[in-house]
Amino acid sequence: MAIFQTKKIQSFIVFIIVLAAILWIFQDNILNISVFKKTTEVSELSEEQIKDTPYLEKIDNFIIKEYSSDQVLLHTIEADVYKSFKDSPVQLEIVTVTTFDEKQNETLTLTSNRAVIFKSGSIHFIGEVEIKTLSGISHEIDTELLVVKGDQIKSNRDVFYLGENAKIKAQGLDMNTKSDLVNLNGDVEILQDSGATLTTKNLLISHRSGEKRYESNEKTIYKSNENIVNTDRGVDINMKTEQTKLLGDVTVVNGFGSSLTSYDLIIDQSNDGEIFKSNSPTRFQSNAVDIKAKKMHYDAIAKKLKLTDEVKATYE
């Protein structure tokens, strides 16, 4: 009996040791989760509360460098003004954060008028933020809250992304500091300088290899002055060539009672134009005629439609 009790005690001690080891291994994750919940609440402090809170310490021309355990520089934080508080996160004004790779090369620079730093090490940028990557690509973002933690940059608030000849609104953002990819999450609205708009979901912005592309696999609607285009398989926008490709089955409806149906439609907006073209089977329908063809070219500004290759027309 004593032996049995001894074994039970030994088993219990082993369980305690294993549990302590597990908690030790995952202590950072546990801390991050609890801190994130608290910081989410703290980050929603009103402007009046922030202004009325007396600070403990103020430092002008503040700079701090953070190193890894191997004394490798991870990032630097510079600010015109640093303020610390008793029960609130540190506040920074006119702040620049620069990250570095293992070879001590700059990988990313983030600048903003305001930011706060929490004890967890996460940095929350507030308002307009400019992100410059190693390749020289610049991302300009306006949001209530942008969180930087390690290699990840995230926001779960409404985001305005200043793109090439367009302003893009989304319901969130995430990106990795080591890539030139930005994910705009949720419902996305692209407001082009030309006046046209596109609505879609979950837009990927890619600047890899010098390209400038916006891509989505979700249903997309394109609207201009007199045309509405619906597609079911997504959109691929090449901002360098100013060409938008609407993927899958496409329907073009205008204000004159006619419609076009096609597949993989290209909208060419170069030289201030708006030309719809497709090399796939196309059908034009109006009150007076029904025309089928293999290719289509439509100048939406001049209102000229050209159907070619095996054209078949039926007149009412």
Residues 37-78: pLDDT tens digits? 333 444 444 444 555 578 889 999 999 998 888 888 988 999
pLDDT of 10 higher than 70 = no
Statement: residue 7 has pLDDT above 70: no
Task: Assess if residue 56 is contained within a domain.
Answer: yes
Among 203-212, 219-228, 269-278, the range scoring the smallest mean pLDDT is: 203-212
Separation of alpha carbons 203 and 170, rounded Å: 9
Nearest to 91 by CA among 41, 125, 61: 125
pLDDT of residue 216: 97
Amino acid 52: pLDDT? 57
Q: At 158, which CATH number? A: 2.60.450
Q: What is the pLDDT of residues 242-297, one digit of tens each?
A: 999 999 999 999 877 789 999 999 999 999 999 999 999 999 998 889 999 999 99
In whole angstroms, what is the distance from residue 14 CA to residue 65 CA? Answer: 41
- Count of structural domains within the chain: 1
Name residues whose C-beta falls within 8 Å of residue 255's C-beta, 6 or more positions apart in sequence: 226
Q: Is the pLDDT of residue 308 over 90?
A: yes
Give the range among 18-22, 129-133, 241-245 with minimum mean pLDDT. Answer: 18-22
Compute the average pLDDT of residues 109-120: 89
Mean pLDDT on 182-192: 96
| Selection from 218, 219, 231, 227 nearest residue 263 by Cα | 231
| Any domain includes 86 | yes
pTM: 0.75
pLDDT by residue (tens digit) across 150-174? 778 899 999 999 987 899 999 999 9
Let me know if residue 176 belongs to a domain: no
Residue 202 has pLDDT above 70, yes or no: yes
- Domain coverage including residue 152: 46-171
Decide if 108 is inside a domain. yes
Domain presence at residue 240:
no
| Residue 152 covered by a domain | yes
**% of the chain at pLDDT higher than 90:** 52
Residue 204 burial (10 A CB sphere; 0-12, 13-18, 19+): middle
- Report the pLDDT averaged over residues 77-89: 91
Output 84 or 101, whichever has higher pLDDT. Answer: 84
Q: Which residues pair with 181 in a beta bridge?
A: 206
Q: What is the pLDDT of residue 34?
A: 26
Q: Is residue 143 part of a domain?
A: yes
Model confidence at 124: pLDDT above 70:
yes
Provide the H-helix boundaries in the chain. 2-25, 27-42, 47-52
For the chain, what is the mean pLDDT? 82
Residue 5 has pLDDT above 60, yes or no: no
Q: Which of 122-131, 226-235, 260-269 has the lowest mean pLDDT?
A: 122-131
Domain membership flag for residue 120: yes
Which residue type is seen at 53?
T
> What tokens does 306 get?
């050209």
Identity of the residue numbered 43: S
End-to-end CA distance of the chain: 101
Query: Alpha-carbon torsion 214, 220, 225, 226, what sign?
Result: positive
pLDDT of residue 50: 53
